[in-house]
Amino acid sequence: MRQRFWMFWDRLGGIVMLGAVAAVFLLGLFGVARYSDIHDLGIPFGTQLYITASLFLLENGSLDGQIPWALEIARWAAPVVLATAAIGTVVSVARHRVWALGVRSLRGHVVIVGLGERGWRAARSAKQAGRAVAVIETDAAGPHVRAARRLGIPVIVGSATEVSRLRAARLDRASRAIVLVGDAAETTAIADAVADLFRSPRLSFRPEFCCFLAVPDADTANDLNALMHDPGAPFQREFFNLEDRSGPVIIDRWAGLLTTAGPPPPIIVIGADAVARSVIAAAARQWSARADDDVLEVHWLLSARSRGVERLLTDLGGTHGSARIIVQELRSPDSRGEIAATLHGLHTPPALVVVSERDDAEALSVLSCADVALRGTDTVVVGVTEGPSLVRLLHGHDRIELFDVAAELGDDEQIAHGRLETLGRALHDGYLRQLNRSLPAEERAAKPAYRPWAELPDELRSQNYDAARAARGMLRELGFDIVPRTPLLPAITVLDDDVVEALAEAEHHRWFRSRHPGAAAPDWADVDPMHAEQSRDQARRLPGILTAADLQITPAAEERA
């Protein structure tokens, strides 16, 4: 009840009190006029206004003779209304002060910079999951500021480019910061401010602290991560793009390429934005790594080629193998006819159609066309959306699935997993590909982990996270880093035998400790030769597994120097 009251007061308290003051004033004015008439005093109208206003200050309380009911009510209600307004204002100011002071007691909290749609989702998800969170927002009148404070989230008003605001959010005690301001220049300035704060000799930061910075382009995120990955840096930074993370999730959920058997139906992608490119890349890389004789057709329908499209096609040129990407430019002003002709002309109905158009009207038009053209088939039609989009009105449609980028991927924990999520998914995908190569369909289907990443139980997903952390740590000890695949850095495609042996030994010991906690791991020389060779084989396959996930092994920064 208390929380509901303050939610009401924050939203409508001022309007309610203003209405109450006006109502009491009018009632008092009517009462004073009636008092003047009853006692034949002839009080002028200006004096009546003054007497009515004085009621709020507990004046004119001693009146002689008959007092009209309106004046009787007003002279008691006026000071009560004034006191309520004053107390409410003082309490509101005090609450805001308490929120600001509350940040001082936070430890290991999450700092969200930017309270737009994505920032609000991340802050709300953290709070609802029981994590401590603080927000830095430039606009005190922003649409989500009051909602955040009603949830008990401290909001520091100001620009995160100012070190003082970062100090106010106690960034030195935070476990991570997530920057979601949307502007590249401001994001850069915030990263510089965080670096300046970390250089302060009077502050000591938590060792696990990482600053996650959203950038508008996936290629930029990959290049920045490759260039800025320096273990000697004062703090960890990771650049990310939510649209770029969408492709593997969509392919896992609705195509399941790594767990399908037999000739695959085509996949259709309509649109040229970052989500569409991510879906194309995920489909091509997952299928190419299967070493399957069957060819996966990926039809890419787009209005015009852009730099991002050409760069992706060039990047996939040497890696898509048995995945055939067929690019079709839509040249008609009304693209629905071309899309319908393409869908009807396929040799078999597609398994998946993904529509990722930024323009709402175009997206709805294409979704309608695909829905009509594919009725009577088992094709899954997915519309990509985010925020207040008209496409969201299709929620609950019996044939069209929706993929809301921010709702699916904007959770603060998902953002924080970052490269660990990519690496864990890559290891799991490598496991699935190995099963596809080594076991018949009925045997691999009986394995509990033989399912897409999106369908893995939390326990099995956590095991992949543990393996990913261990692999990254083991490679780091051997003088290597795992970075996004880029031509800017040398890529290790084949590991030397001594590196393979060291990785195999470390991974087997890690696996043994996870299965037998507290027991002493056996000497590597005493390990069953079959199990030892399995560990070696896993280490040898690591570069290929990472390549399929758009990652690479590269010499560590100090080794490159």
pLDDT (tens digit, 9 = 90+) per residue, 143-156? 888 888 888 888 88
Write the CA distances from 339 to 283, 299, 332, 347, 368, integer angstroms: 20, 11, 10, 15, 11
Q: Who contacts 371 (Cβ-Cβ below 8 Å, separation ≥6)?
A: 381, 399, 400
Q: Is the pLDDT of residue 61 over 60?
A: no
Domain with 521 in it: 447-560
Statement to judge: residues 249 and 382 lie in one domain? yes
Token pair of 49 as six digits: 């206004």
Q: What is the pLDDT of residue 381?
A: 94
Contact (Cβ atoms closer than 8 angstroms) between residue 161 and residue 186: yes
Q: Is the pLDDT of residue 377 over 80?
A: yes
Q: Which residue has the higher pLDDT, 354 or 78?
A: 354
* End residue of a domain, out of 362, 389, 409: 409
Q: Is the pLDDT of residue 161 over 50?
A: yes
**Lowest-confidence pick of 3-12, 241-250, 433-442, 513-522:** 3-12
Q: What is the pLDDT of residue 414?
A: 85
User: Is residue 227 domain-resident?
Assistant: no
Statement to judge: residues 299 and 402 lie in one domain? yes
Statement to judge: residues 258 and 208 lie in one domain? no
Contact (Cβ atoms closer than 8 angstroms) between residue 551 and residue 475: no
DSSP state of 283: H
User: Is residue 392 domain-resident?
Assistant: yes
Domain count, the chain: 4
Statement to judge: residues 165 and 199 lie in one domain? yes
Write the CA distances from 253 to 131, 220, 269, integer angstroms: 28, 27, 15
As a three-state string, the secondary structure of 41-52 is CCCCHHHHHHHH
Cα separation, 380 vs 255, whole angstroms: 9
Scan for tokens 């910075």, then name that residue. 213
Q: Which of 202, 204, 184 is nearest to 192 (CA)?
A: 184
Statement to judge: residues 89 and 175 lie in one domain? no
Q: What is the mean pLDDT of the chain?
A: 83
Q: What is the pLDDT of residue 12?
A: 66
Q: What is the pLDDT of residue 59?
A: 63
Per-residue confidence at 22, pLDDT binned at 50, 70, 90? Answer: confident
**Lowest-confidence pick of 16-25, 189-198, 313-322, 383-392:** 313-322
Question: For 296, phi and psi rounded to 5 degrees?
Answer: -95, 125
Q: Identity (one letter) of the amino acid at 94?
A: A
Per-residue confidence at 292, pLDDT binned at 50, 70, 90? Answer: low
Question: For 325, phi and psi rounded to 5 degrees?
Answer: -95, 120
Q: What is the pLDDT of residue 62?
A: 63
Q: Which of 154, 156, 127, 122 is nearest to 139 (CA)?
A: 156
> What percent of the chain has a predicted confidence (pLDDT) above 90?
16
Statement to judge: residues 199 and 253 lie in one domain? no
pLDDT digits (tens, 9 = 90+) for 464-499: 888 888 888 888 888 888 887 777 778 898 999 999
Statement to judge: residues 482 and 460 lie in one domain? yes
Q: What is the pLDDT of residue 4?
A: 57
Q: What is the pLDDT of residue 57?
A: 74
Q: What is the pLDDT of residue 102?
A: 58
Per-residue confidence at 364, pLDDT binned at 50, 70, 90? Answer: very high
Q: What is the pLDDT of residue 400?
A: 92
Statement to judge: residues 9 and 42 lie in one domain? yes
DSSP state of 105: G
Per-residue confidence at 319, pLDDT binned at 50, 70, 90? Answer: very low
Statement to judge: residues 48 and 7 lie in one domain? yes
**Which of 72-86, 163-177, 282-296, 316-330 has the largest mean confidence?**
163-177
Token pair of 204 as six digits: 């000591």
Q: Who contacts 389 (Cβ-Cβ below 8 Å, separation ≥6)?
A: 360, 363
Cα separation, 271 vs 437, whole angstroms: 34
Question: For 158, phi and psi rounded to 5 degrees?
Answer: 145, 180
> What percent of the chain has a predicted confidence (pLDDT) above 70?
90
Q: What is the pLDDT of residue 230?
A: 56
CB burial readout 138-161, b (16+ within 10 A) else e: beeebebbebbbeeebbbbbebbb
Q: Is the pLDDT of residue 324 over 90?
A: no
* End residue of a domain, out of 98, 131, 165: 98
User: Is residue 306 domain-resident?
Assistant: yes
Cα separation, 489 vs 480, whole angstroms: 12
Q: List the alpha helices (DSSP H) in 410-486.
A: 412-438, 441-445, 458-477
* End residue of a domain, out of 55, 82, 98: 98
Statement to judge: residues 250 and 314 lie in one domain? yes
CATH of the domain at 181: 3.40.50.720
pLDDT digits (tens, 9 = 90+) for 199-215: 887 777 788 888 999 98
Residue 454 burial (CB < 10 Å; 0-12/13-18/19+)? middle
Statement to judge: residues 337 and 316 lie in one domain? yes
Per-residue confidence at 182, pLDDT binned at 50, 70, 90? Answer: confident
pLDDT digits (tens, 9 = 90+) for 84-117: 877 777 766 665 555 555 566 788 899 999 998 8
Contact (Cβ atoms closer than 8 angstroms) between residue 25 and residue 53: yes
Query: Could you give the angle at the alpha carbon of 187 between the alpha carbons of 182 and 193, nearest 5°?
Result: 150
Q: Is the pLDDT of residue 355 over 90?
A: yes
Statement to judge: residues 90 and 113 lie in one domain? no
Per-residue confidence at 437, pLDDT binned at 50, 70, 90? Answer: confident
Q: Which residue has the higher pLDDT, 39 or 246?
A: 246
Q: What is the pLDDT of residue 498?
A: 92
